[in-house]
Structures are given as structure tokens and as C-alpha cells.
Amino acid sequence: MYSFKIDFADPRDDAAARLRFGARNPRATLVARTLAEVRPVLDAVEDAARAGAWVVGQLRYEAAPAFDAALRTHAADGPLAWFAVFDAPEPWDDALAPGDATVQWDEALARPAFDAAIARIRSAIAAGECYQVNYTAPLSGRLQGDALALFDALRRAQPGGYAAYLDMGDEATLSVSPELFFDWRAGADGAGDILTRPMKGTAARGATLDEDAASAAQLRASPKERAENVMIVDLLRNDLSRIAQPHSVRVPRLFHTQALPTVWQMTSDVVARTRAGTRLADVFGALFPCGSVTGAPKRSAMQQIHALESAPRGVYCGAVGVVRPGGAGGVAATFNVPIRTVALRGAQVTCGIGSGITAGSQAADEWREWAAKRVFVERASEPFDLLETLALDGGVLRHRAEHLARMTAAAAHFGRPWDAARVQSCLHALCAAHGAGLWRVRLLLDAQGAPRAEAFVLQPTAQPVVLALATRPFADAHGEFTRHKTTRRAHYAAFAPPPGVFDTLLYNTAGEITESTFGNVAALLDGHWITPPLACGLLPGVGRAALLREGRVQEGVLRLQDVARVERWAFVNSLRGWLDATLAMP
């Protein structure tokens, strides 16, 4: 059974209601399996919408030669265009899919191959063959669980934007793209307004509010990122001029920074007024594929892509969207650029990751950008709960307000429902059942916002505890599952302490001490107790924050070379408080 869910932002009004609907069992499907069939399918899509139907579907990247034979691609691995026609949409169902979904991803592109590709692109740019190439590679994996559950997890990981779930029988597309390809609203004669919003320019989100603001400011000011954006804006201006009324192409907004959960993205708006007689196939003929996922000039950039990438992109970097009636015989068509998109065949899943490479691109920077972009799918690939661990002493929860404030922030970060009254009720019931003694309480919040609390007897800890210095850097120090406390702890489990050791002392790739696997740390150095700042990459512990407020410790960077000079150590968390510690060196 075919099924579809569309959750698109209104690209022309941030405050407007989203276009949200479901659909099942179309009355017709329109499929293009050859290049010659692509334009006729798009004509049929438009005719159906002008006659009152709603149409949902997609084009693969490999459909490009249907519009320009000089656009080079690999052979497609499925239908070039696929659309479903409905008499009317069904109401959006807010209920989340039952069950969970887990994806086991294979290793991504190896770093030496990545570096070689970047060097090859820069050589081509230096030779004058092109001036930007959007280079990509696929992640591959296997799904365990339900596809709709994975789509729900992807929407939580990448909220907003232009999300679409297309179950087409033999394959499914799960897109949570933040990028608009085009929004075209035309009258019966084809004349109308068209908006494109290319997304080019990326910066990772900061670990703190100050770092985050600085990252956005650096993106806006970066000559390299601005140049990359302008190149694509110019390409889109030229593409739109092919279907635009004279002198109607404009750029009303340039270098807008958009906050996504894991990255800042730079977008610009390019608009035009389409000429009378313009058809949907003409819009695709002028614009497809979007220049933001090809590079510029488009023909030469796509030749480079064909040489560098060994397999078809599929729906990734193609188009996914909705064509619907526009009133009085008109039409409204909204399509995303399917980045942040998972393609599913049976249990096999793929997800493309890429970036625009220019003369100023450095392989190390692009590698970090790819890592930041793939976080959305990693977040969605394994179910997890938000977690707070509190001490319950004589029926009173220690630092209750601070723990709830931290969980509130985590819920906002991960897009989870937060009902404060429901959480308080859950804790009240647990406290009433454990009114005497000392307990370790685990407060959990699941993906649907349902809280649950568990209590375990808390035994006293003998002091001093023994810490052991990690034998390698903690690569996930700046990850979101380090900054926020959850049940996803595989990155910490890899640093489990050896027998006889209380916990492992971690340090980041810059050689800065961060925390231990389940607590913060403090060190007496040069007569002052210091604790690593959040910028080093660590959980903002509730116990740590209390010590800072009291003035018992102050923030200070502690490097590996300083460890030998530390006079005393302490392990700190809200549950156990301050524990004197000694450090066992490897």
C-alpha cells in the first residue's frame, strides 16, 4: 500500500501554518523510467493539479539529462520520476509510529580518498574547468524496525524545513530537508511568482551560547562561505532568467543564516516572475538539478561529479515535492532539495552527505563539515531517552530544580515534548514511595515526552576514589550526546575503567582534560581548584555548577602537560557530591 506524509514549511511566510497532510492509495501513479518520459510525466502532473488533484512525488538526480543532454550523470537505479495523484489530501496524523527504528551504518568514505577528491577538484578549479563542485558520498546501512518510526526520529533530529515520507512500494524516501528548491505559484496562463532559496555555506553549532553566536557571525563574515553562496546565487539568477519575464529576477535576501540543530546554514532568496505559457516541465528544465547541489558552471561541475562519484545519487540531490491546485485553474508547486534524506529499499538504507568545494576549500575543514552534517542521521539512528540522575535523601530530591532545568534544555534541543506538570507528578509519586533512606533516582523522558522514574539504593562511596587517565583522546568531547545527558552512552562505554578504578579521566583531541565518564572533575593546580570549562567538551554537571556558584572552584583549562603538576584531584557530580580522588597514570 502506497502511503505519504508531507510536512512543509510555508516558504513565503515563517508565521504561516505548515502544509501538513497524509495520503494513501492514489488513484493514479505517473512514472518515468526513461529520459524521454520525464517531461511528459511532469506535464501530466501539472494537468492533474490544474484539474483539482493533489500530486506528491520525486525526481532522481539522474533525471537531469532529460532537460539538458550535456548534464552528465550515472545511470539511474530506479524510476527517474515517480508521482502519485490524489483527489484530496487526508488530515495530518500527529500520532507517532509505534515501535522503534535502529540503523547500523557502515563506515563512511575513507579519509585518504576524501582528501584525494578535494585535491582533484581544486586542481580542476585552478585549471579553469569550473569554480565550484558539490562533492558527495553515500552512507549505507541496514534498518531494524519500522520506516515510519525512522521518519519520525529524523523529523525530531531535523525539525522544520520540508519533510516528506514517500512509500512507493519498492522503495521509500524519508526526507527532512531544510532546503527549498522552488515554490512556484502560477495562474491559468503559466505566469506567476517563483521563489528559490539555495543553501550554501555551513558552520557547526557552538557548544555554548557565546560559541554558537560567534559561529554564526563567522559564517556570515567568511569570505570563502560568502563567495560559495554568491556563486550559486548567480547560477540560480541565470537559470531563472530562462523562464522569467524580462527584468523580473531579483535577490531580495542575501546571506541569511539559518539555525539548524547541528549546523548553521547560509541561504539566499532568488525570485522571478514566470512568463505566460510556462509549464512545470519548463521550471524543471531551467533549474534542475538545483545549483546548490551541483556547483558552477553546472555542466562542467556535473562532469566533475560524474568522474569523482562512482554511483548514482538517486533521489538525493534530486527533488521531492507537492503539486496542488492554485485556484482559478492555477497551480502551486513546492519542491525541496532532498539533502538530509534517507532512501530505503527493503532494509537497505542510504544517505548522502556532501559540500561545495571551491578554490579556498581545505580538506580538513570540509571533513569536519561532513561530520557536522551527518549528525542528524546519527541522532535518529538509535532510540534514546533523556536522562537525569538525582539523589533522593529522606524524601527530598537534591538539586531538583537544576536537574529539571537541564532536562528541559535537552528536550528543546532534541525536539521532544515537555510537560512540566507531568514530570513533576512522576517525581512526586516516586518520592512518596521512597520517603526514607538514600536513593539513586533515574528520571527518563522518551521520544513522546513520557517521563518515568526509577529508584535504586545508593551506597556510600569510599574515598579517595581512583581515576585513570584515558589512553587516547575522547573524540566525542564536543558531540551533542556529551553536552546533553541521555541513555546513549556507547561513546563513554568505550572508555570504561579497568578493574579497581572508579572512573576514567578523559581528554579531547586538543589535549585538554574534559571530565570522567559519569562525572565532572576538579584539580588543585597552583593553589587553585579548577574545573574544565564547557568549551573543552563536557556535560554541564549540576554538581559542578553548584561548586562554581559557591566559589569553591573556578573554570580553567587543564592540559595533559599540566597533569603532573596537579596537587590534588576530585570527582564531582550531583549524585555523590565531592569525592577526593587520586590519579593512576597509564
* 42-56 confidence digits (pLDDT tens): 999 999 999 999 999
Reported confidence tier of residue 187, pLDDT bands at 50, 70, 90 = very high
Please give the residue that has the higher pLDDT: either 368 or 510: 510
Calpha distance 20→161 (Å, rounded): 12
Q: What is the pLDDT of residues 297-353, one digit of tens each?
A: 999 999 999 999 999 999 999 999 999 999 889 999 999 999 999 999 999 999 999
Q: Mean pLDDT across the stretch 1-18?
A: 91
Closest C-alpha to 566, from 533, 524, 530, 532 = 524
Q: Which residue has the cell 491559468?
A: 188
Same domain, 307 and 372: yes
* CATH number (domain holding residue 554): 3.20.10.10
**Cell numbers standing for residue 36:** 524521454
Calpha distance 353→340 (Å, rounded): 8
**Cell numbers standing for residue 113:** 580518498
- Total residues belonging to the chain: 586
**Cell numbers standing for residue 500:** 579497581
Calpha distance 388→186 (Å, rounded): 52
In the chain, % of residues over pLDDT 70 = 99
Domain boundary among 360, 380, 400: 380
Q: What is the pLDDT of residue 48?
A: 97
Q: Does 413 map to a domain?
A: yes
Q: What is the pLDDT of residues 72-128, one digit of tens each?
A: 999 999 999 999 999 999 999 888 788 889 999 987 778 999 999 999 999 999 999
Same domain, 309 and 428: no
The residue range of the domain holding 360 is 3-197+275-380
Same domain, 433 and 489: no
Same domain, 479 and 360: no
Q: Does 173 map to a domain?
A: yes
| pTM, 2 dp | 0.87
Closest C-alpha to 178, from 59, 22, 61, 9 = 9
Domain boundary among 425, 453, 481: 453
Same domain, 444 and 471: no
Closest C-alpha to 65, from 293, 322, 339, 298 = 298
Calpha distance 140→103 (Å, rounded): 9
The yes-or-no verdict on residue 262 having pLDDT over 80 is no
Q: Does 244 map to a domain?
A: no
Same domain, 160 and 188: yes
Same domain, 75 and 91: yes
Residues 5, 200, 298, 373: which is the catalytic one? 200
Q: What is the dihedral of CA 450, 377, 519, 419, to 10 degrees?
A: -20
The structural domain count of the chain equals 3
Which residues face 256 on adjacent strands? 267
Domain boundary among 380, 415, 439: 380
Same domain, 124 and 101: yes
Q: Mean pLDDT across the stretch 166-191?
A: 96
Q: Which residue has the cell 533515574?
A: 442
Q: What is the pLDDT of residues 194-252, one digit of tens each?
A: 999 999 888 888 777 788 888 889 898 888 889 889 999 999 999 999 999 999 999 99
Calpha distance 318→577 (Å, rounded): 54
Q: Does 370 map to a domain?
A: yes
Calpha distance 39→42 (Å, rounded): 5
Q: Does 269 map to a domain?
A: no
Residues 37, 46, 179, 480: which is the catalytic one? 179
Q: What is the pLDDT of residue 93?
A: 86
* CATH number (domain holding residue 426): 3.30.470.10
Same domain, 363 and 400: no
CB atoms closer than 10 angstroms to residue 462? 8
Reported confidence tier of residue 586, pLDDT bands at 50, 70, 90 = low
CB within 8 Å of 519: residues ≥ 6 apart: 503, 541, 543, 571, 572, 573, 576
Say which DSSP state 574 is in: T
Q: What is the pLDDT of residues 480-512, one digit of tens each?
A: 899 999 999 999 999 999 999 999 999 999 999
The yes-or-no verdict on residue 415 having pLDDT over 70 is yes
Same domain, 515 and 412: no
Beta strands in 328-420 (DSSP E): 330-336, 341-345, 348-357, 386-393, 396-397
Q: Does 74 map to a domain?
A: yes
Same domain, 286 and 370: yes
Closest C-alpha to 377, from 169, 2, 9, 106 = 106
* CATH number (domain holding residue 347): 3.60.120.10
Establish whether 298 is a catalytic residue: no
Q: What is the pLDDT of residues 16-34, one digit of tens each?
A: 999 999 999 999 999 999 9
Which residues face 145 on adjacent strands? 101
Q: Please report which helix (H) or strand (E) contains residue 303, including its range.
A: helix 298-308
Q: Are 399 and 262 in contact (CB under 8 A)?
A: no
Q: Does 494 map to a domain?
A: yes
Establish whether 225 is a catalytic residue: no
Same domain, 374 and 409: no
Q: What is the pLDDT of residue 109?
A: 77
Q: Does 233 map to a domain?
A: no
